[in-house]
Amino acid sequence: MAVYTQVSAEAAERLLALYDVGRLVSLKGIAEGVENSNYLLETDRARFILTLYESRVDPADLPYFHNLLAHLHNAGCPVPRFIDDRQGNWLQDLLGKKACLIEFLPGISVSEPTPIQAAAVGKSMAQMHKAVAGFSEAKPNPLGQESWKPLFERCDRAAAESLLPGLADDIARECDWLEANWPSELPKHAVHTDLFPDNVLFRGDAVGGLIDFYFACTDFRAFDLAVTHAAWSFSNDGKSYLADIGRALLQGYGEVIQLSDAEKQAFALLARGASSRFLLTRLYDWINTPAGALVTRKDPLAFHRRLEFYRSADVVALFGVEQ
Amino acid sequence: MAVYTQVSAEAAERLLALYDVGRLVSLKGIAEGVENSNYLLETDRARFILTLYESRVDPADLPYFHNLLAHLHNAGCPVPRFIDDRQGNWLQDLLGKKACLIEFLPGISVSEPTPIQAAAVGKSMAQMHKAVAGFSEAKPNPLGQESWKPLFERCDRAAAESLLPGLADDIARECDWLEANWPSELPKHAVHTDLFPDNVLFRGDAVGGLIDFYFACTDFRAFDLAVTHAAWSFSNDGKSYLADIGRALLQGYGEVIQLSDAEKQAFALLARGASSRFLLTRLYDWINTPAGALVTRKDPLAFHRRLEFYRSADVVALFGVEQ
Q: What is the mean pLDDT of residues B230-235?
A: 97
Amino acid at B51: T
Handedness of CA B97, B100, B104, B105 (dihedral sign): negative
pLDDT value of residue B200: 97
A14 to chain B, any CB pair closer than 8 A? The answer is no
Q: How far is A320 from chain B (nearest CA, A)?
A: 28
Of A40, A68, A103, the one marking the end of a domain is A103
Q: Is residue B211 part of a domain?
A: yes
pLDDT confidence bin for B301, thresholds 50/70/90:
very high
Interface test with B, best of A30, A40, A49 (most B CBs within 10 A): A30
Q: Is residue A64 part of a domain?
A: yes
Residue A291 has pLDDT above 80, yes or no: no
pLDDT value of residue A1: 47
Are residues B206 and B164 part of one domain?
A: yes
Counting Cα atoms < 13 Å in the Cβ hemisphere of A170 gives: 18
Residues 6+ apart with CB under 8 A from B276: B148, B171, B174, B175, B178, B303, B307
Lowest mean pLDDT among A11-15, A305-309, B237-241, B314-318: B314-318
Using alpha carbons, select from A82, A99, A89 the residue that is nearest to residue A5. Answer: A99
CATH of the domain at A185: 3.90.1200.10
pLDDT confidence bin for B321, thresholds 50/70/90:
low
pLDDT value of residue A88: 96
pLDDT tens sequence across B136-148: 999 999 999 999 9
Q: Is residue B99 part of a domain?
A: yes
Chain B residue at shortest CA distance from A109? B9
Three-state secondary structure call for residue A156: coil
pLDDT tens sequence across B211-231: 999 999 999 999 999 999 999
Residues of chain A contacting residue B25, judged by C-beta atoms under 8 Å apart: 106-108, 203
Are residues A192 and A81 part of one domain?
A: no
Residue A32 has pLDDT above 50, yes or no: yes
Chain A residue at shortest CA distance from B202? A25
Of A103, A131, A148, the one marking the end of a domain is A103
pLDDT tens sequence across A146-201: 999 999 999 999 999 999 999 999 999 999 999 999 999 999 999 999 999 999 99
Percent of chain B with pLDDT over 90: 87
- For B48-73, b where at least 16 C-beta lie within 10 A, e where not — what string? bbbbbbbeebeeeebebbbebbebbb
B28 contacts A30? CB cut-off 8 A: yes
Are residues A209 and A262 part of one domain?
A: yes
Q: How many domains does chain A have?
A: 2
Percent of chain A with pLDDT over 90: 87
A110 contacts B31? CB cut-off 8 A: no
Are residues A144 and A238 part of one domain?
A: yes
Amino acid at A263: E
A292 contacts B106? CB cut-off 8 A: no
Residues of chain A contacting residue B108, judged by C-beta atoms under 8 Å apart: 9, 12, 24-27
- Beta strand B37-43 with B206-210: parallel, antiparallel or unpaired? unpaired
Using alpha carbons, select from B13, B48, B56 the residue that is nearest to residue B215. Answer: B56
Residue pairs spanning A and B at CB distance below 8 A = 89
Are residues A189 and A65 part of one domain?
A: no
Of B82, B103, B124, the one marking the end of a domain is B103
- For B82-120, b where at least 16 C-beta lie within 10 A, e where not — what string? bbebeeeebbbebeebbbbbbbbbebbbbeebebebbbb
pLDDT tens sequence across B245-257: 999 999 999 999 9
Residue B293 has pLDDT above 70, yes or no: no
Are residues B132 and B93 part of one domain?
A: no
CATH of the domain at B64: 3.30.200.20
pLDDT value of residue B323: 43
pLDDT tens sequence across A121-142: 999 999 999 999 889 999 999 9
Q: What is the mean pLDDT of residues B155-167?
A: 94
pLDDT value of residue A323: 42
Are residues A162 and A93 part of one domain?
A: no
Q: What is the mean pLDDT of residues A59-75?
A: 96
Are residues A265 and A161 part of one domain?
A: yes
Are residues A149 and A57 part of one domain?
A: no
Given a contact cutoff of 8 angstroms between Cβ atoms, the answer to whether A162 and A239 are in contact is no
pLDDT value of residue A241: 97
Q: What is the mean pLDDT of residues B27-38?
A: 83
Q: Is residue B109 part of a domain?
A: no
Q: Is residue A1 part of a domain?
A: no
Q: Is residue A109 part of a domain?
A: no
Q: How far is B7 from chain A (nearest CA, A)?
A: 10
pLDDT value of residue B140: 97
Residue B24: left if φ>0, alpha if ψ -120 to 50, beta else—which one? Answer: beta
Domain enclosing residue B165, as ranges: 115-319
Lowest mean pLDDT among A7-11, B32-36, B209-213: B32-36
B24 contacts A29? CB cut-off 8 A: no
pLDDT value of residue B1: 47
Q: How far is B312 from chain A (nearest CA, A)?
A: 32
pLDDT confidence bin for B33, thresholds 50/70/90:
low
Residue B129 has pLDDT above 80, yes or no: yes
Are residues B195 and B88 part of one domain?
A: no
Are residues A128 and A23 part of one domain?
A: no
Q: What is the mean pLDDT of residues B11-30?
A: 96
Q: Is residue A2 part of a domain?
A: no
A70 to chain B, any CB pair closer than 8 A? The answer is no
Chain A residue at shortest CA distance from B105? A26
What are residue A128's phi and psi, to 5 degrees? -65, -40
Helices and strands: H and E segment counts in chain A: 11, 9
Q: Is residue B153 part of a domain?
A: yes
Three-state secondary structure call for residue A155: coil
Judge residue A124's burial from the number of C-beta atoms within 10 Å of its C-beta, 0-12 exposed, 13-18 middle, 19 or more buried. buried
Are residues B122 and B80 part of one domain?
A: no
Q: Quote the CA–CA distance of B124 and B185 in Å, as a whole number.
A: 24
pLDDT tens sequence across A93-111: 999 999 999 999 999 999 9
B27 to chain A, any CB pair closer than 8 A? The answer is yes
Amino acid at A146: E
Residue B80 has pLDDT above 60, yes or no: yes
- Beta strand B97-103 with B92-94: parallel, antiparallel or unpaired? antiparallel
Chain A residue at shortest CA distance from B111? A8
Residue B187 has pLDDT above 50, yes or no: yes
